[in-house]
Amino acid sequence: MNFNALVQAMTPDTYEKLSEAVATGRWADGNPMSETQRAHSLQLVMAYQAQVLKSDELFTIGADGQMVHKSKAELKKQFETQPSIARFSHDDL
C-alpha cells in the first residue's frame, strides 16, 4: 500500500488517536513513542489534514500541502464570528 492510499484509508478515529499520540508523545496505552514513530505519525496526521480534512485551521496543513498561516487580523475576525468562551468568576466555581 502506498502512502497516499494509506492516508485515504485512515478512519477519523485512527486520525484522532495518531494526532493525540503525536501531541503527547505517548500511545493511547501510555507507552512512549520512539522518535521514528512520532515522525512517521506526524507525517500521517499532516497528510490526513491536507488530503481528507482539507483543513484551514491554524497549525494545520492545507489542501495545497502548505502550512496554514493566518495573520492576527484574520484570527481576530475568525474568533469574532464564533460563539464567545464561557467565563466564570472564582465564586461561580
Question: What DSSP line would sit under 15-62, residue for residue?
Answer: HHHHHHHHHHTB-TTSPBPPHHHHHHHHHHHHHHIIIII---STTSB-
∠ CA 13-18-23, rounded to 5°: 125
Instruction: For residue range 16-57, list pLDDT tens digits in order.
Output: 999 899 889 999 999 999 999 999 998 898 888 888 877 655
Amino acid at residue number 56: D
Distance of CA 68 to the CA centre of its chain: 12
- Select the more confidently predicted residue: 83 or 42: 42
Domain edges within the chain = 3-92
